[in-house]
A and B are shown apart, each in its own frame.
Chain A
């Protein structure tokens, strides 16, 4: 199973909405997680089960989708949200991460 994220880079102004896509080559049901990684830092779990926010994740992060099409929406970008975002499917082996989407300041 291949996880394809788009776009590779998303340029967004602070306060604007960002919409990130993750597509699976086969259905992963809702077994999809999202991570945020800032430069020099370790990945941070944001979303699991396609739409459940992890502990401490702000409400501006919303995950949606099922099957093969998933979206991570950041409703109003804050300065601390500029980072690379990865999706990861876990419905079966092997575990697979998407290639990542970099959210940069416009």
Chain B
């Protein structure tokens, strides 16, 4: 069974850093592009970043560009999100999701990891 499992969330002060991981299992990870999506408490979904299968192409929302870095390790079947210069408004549950082969919509999602930015 294909699964995604996020980890690395927690409480961090404004200006701090955090690294999220998304462990993939049950499918050939290197064959799929991946994304991060976040959801602030009680709010809607916001796309954060995306990465192509080989890691050669990466994309970012304007709200995180220059502060967040997406990467992947296709040998360890893991997706990462390095988050720097964190702001209070980055507080959210962060989900990783698998892109379906045809286009950029998403069928497989992880359970999410909560990031809280607060002093």
Interface of A (DSSP majority class) = loop
Interface presence of B73 (CB below 8 A): no
Please list 28 pairs of residues, one from A and one from B, whose beta carbons are closer than 8 Å in the complex, sorted by A's number: A33-B105, A33-B106, A37-B45, A42-B112, A43-B95, A43-B106, A43-B109, A45-B105, A48-B102, A48-B103, A49-B103, A54-B107, A55-B107, A86-B44, A88-B45, A88-B105, A90-B104, A93-B59, A94-B47, A94-B59, A94-B60, A94-B62, A95-B50, A95-B104, A97-B44, A97-B47, A98-B44, A99-B44
A-side interface residues toward B, CB under 8 Å?
31, 33, 35, 37, 42-43, 45, 48-49, 54-55, 84, 86, 88, 90, 93-100
B-side interface residues toward A, CB under 8 Å?
35, 37, 44-47, 50, 59-62, 95, 100, 102-107, 109-112
